[in-house]
Structure 1
């Protein structure tokens, strides 16, 4: 075996690994068979309280009385399964339904939306704390079939993030759900259902709010079912050349390879073509002195990691007159420019995930919850305006410099280096080659461990 390895015979290595995989699969199948045949010793009452009652039913069947009851309610159960987001297969002690939640959050104090980076707090971790506190989550996160539309970065905000998961429901499988039309009327089920918006918003932090909910089919996925996403990026106009930025922005519309406008993840992303359907710039009604707040609205089917912030950074360089709008054409030509020039992304704070669009999804909110949400957001706006007023007072009360006080010479800003003359990052092919090399080394080490040879 050592001779084969030293000779670089990969075919034997692969064959050995495949054989080991088959052994593990057979062992896994044997353990699953044992689990399915094991006798659950707990009483039905205890199992029901622990949320495991459906496991006993699945493994051991049902008695004659329960079969008769189910037969009598079969029509009712079938009608409930036709209701969006309602799936009786997942019923245990609590009824569940699959719902989408529309989420707003102010991202300044969070380490992004997703909680996988092991940095706290994240928006996602706060949402799951609220779900557990309100006992809306039945089972663990994996059992909830959880999905999210986007993974916004640290500091990025949203008013239209969407997540989907199974939550506890007030609707039961019973004859009371039977209506004359053969299906539950949506208005009726909304009235009888848990007010998810009210319940969650009572325990969430002030900078996170549920904006609405909607029942969805069990095959719905918040990321892959999304048709389009829109981001907004706010900025102060100052001396920016808006016409030049608009001219350059039009070049980004359409389907292009955006590898020079993102942070590359060669290990997981292999296709860097994305479709930008619209890019518009417009003023808002917010002003501060002679300055005016503007917004860039960018819509696309999907976006790469840091894509929006990279595009905005290049647009700002064009607006400042540091780059020509033609630099967009050059960066989009990945055949001529396969290695991304190094440049700093635009700040994350002004970026907002504005909306995520889906087919046949209409979010709802009860009148009471909607009013409470409106009051809360008004109070938050007023609170931040008070803070701005305090900083404005400090600004107008700054001690002026006396005429005889020497002024320090301002530090000169570093001169701008044209993008095309800057150092470049590794290309996708170079990153991928390095990743594949590490992967092969890992497999080789794993094989040596399996056969008991020293590494």
Structure 2
């Protein structure tokens, strides 16, 4: 039997999604909890990897198990064995053809950015922060060149293992409510640090250091060394993943009310 799970997690307590020798990843915590419920070792596969400090509002994973348990056991039962920073939101049986990673048509990220002279305390670790005023209009103007299929080498980390730097962005929207910016990005897939590297360039433009056309020049350069440093992970959330309707998994990005 193949089971799909929806997860949310606070990335601050973990070294990222992918299993590590120190056992401090989200994957390690989840596999240990599922194994306790199943009574046998279990391997899980995720829709997308997240780095240390990056959160998830709707990560999707799947695993195979020959052990028959009520579907509620894969939610409440597994949650009883998970640390406080991770929670299974839902579980459902899926077709054996479903794969959390390879069946995905698009992935969605949201970056929450606090634009305020003073650093946050209550939201520390849950939002990014920039102290100087940012222009919403300039930032929006800078994103238009990013939509469509492009070589994103200028926004790719040196450690990226993707076979190709070419990705197709279908959405790059920026909203502002008071001091809080919400940036939503959707694509067929993402390169390592791609969203955080785009954020670095976006903030550079928003604070007036460069004109919006500079984003076009960065994209055309295909050279990571010409772009600004990688921005902080704190405000980045894996917001969801879209699958073919035939698999019966809700595709819309999901956020709790306090993350909107």
> May I ask how many residue pairs the two structures share in their alignment?
236
What secondary structure sits across from 1:340 in the alignment?
helix
Return the structure number with greater relative CO, CA threshold 8 A, min gap 6: 2
Residue in 1 aligned with 2:143? 249
Distance 1:234 1:126 in 2: 26
The answer on whether the counterparts of 1:110 and 1:120 sit within 8 Å (CA) in structure 2 is: no
Query: Normalising by the residue count of structure 1, what TM-score does the alignment of the two structures yield?
Result: 0.49
91, 113, 122: which one aligns with 1:213: 91
Aligned partners of 2:107, 2:249: CA distance in 1, in Å?
16
Among residues 14, 18, 25, which one is paired with 1:122 in the alignment?
25
Instruction: Please give the secondary structure, in 2, of the residue aligned with 1:297.
Output: strand
Q: What SS does the aligned partner of 2:225 have?
A: coil
Structure showing greater radius of gyration is 1
For 2:185 and 2:49, how far apart are their aligned partners in 1?
A: 17
Partner of 2:229: 344
2:103 pairs with 1:225: yes
Q: Show the counterpart of 1:150.
A: 48
CA distance in 2, matches of 1:130, 1:345: 33
User: Does residue 325 in structure 1 map to residue 218 in structure 2?
Assistant: no
Tell me, in whole angstroms, the C-alpha distance in 2 between the residues paired with 1:324 and 1:362: 44
> In structure 1, what is the equivalent of residue 240 of structure 2?
355
Displacement of 1:202 after TM fit?
1.5
1:276 to 165, 169, 172: 169
Where do 1:105-120 residues align within 5 Å?
A: 105-116=9-20, 118-120=21-23
Which of residues 152, 156, 162 in structure 2 aligns to 1:258?
Answer: 152
Aligned to 1:303: 190
For residues 72-105 of structure 1, the C-alpha deviation after alignment (integer angstroms, 9 at most, x for no partner) is: xxxxxxxxxxxxxxxxxxxxxxxxx101111110
How far the C-alpha of 1:128 sits from its partner, in A, is 1.3
What runs of 5+ residues in structure 2 fail to find an aligned partner? 117-132, 251-255
Alignment check: 8 A CA contact 2:16 2:53 kept: yes
- Corresponding residue for 1:9? none
Shift of 1:240: 0.4
Give the superposition deviation at 1:137.
5.5
- Separation in structure 1 between the aligned mates of residue 39 and residue 95 of structure 2, nearest angstrom: 18
Write the distance in 2 (CA, Å) between the matches of 1:237 and 1:193.
43
**TM-score normalised by length of structure 2:** 0.83
The structure 1 segments of at least 4 consecutive aligned residues displaced by more than 4 Å after TM superposition are none
Q: Using a 3 Å threshold, how does the CA distance of structure 1 residues 152 and 198 change in structure 2: closer, same or farther? A: same
Residue 69 (structure 1) aligns with: none
Find out whether 1:162 has 2:72 as its counterpart.
Answer: no
Question: Which residue of the partner structure matches residue 120 of structure 2?
Answer: none
Structure 1 residues 324-367: Cα deviation after superposition (integer angstroms, max 9, x where no partner): 11111111114xx5463253211101000011111234459xxx
Q: Distance in 2 between matches of 1:193 and 1:102?
A: 13
Let me know the Cα RMSD of the aligned residues: 2.3
The change in CA–CA distance for 1:303 and 1:193 in structure 2 (over 3 A counts) is closer
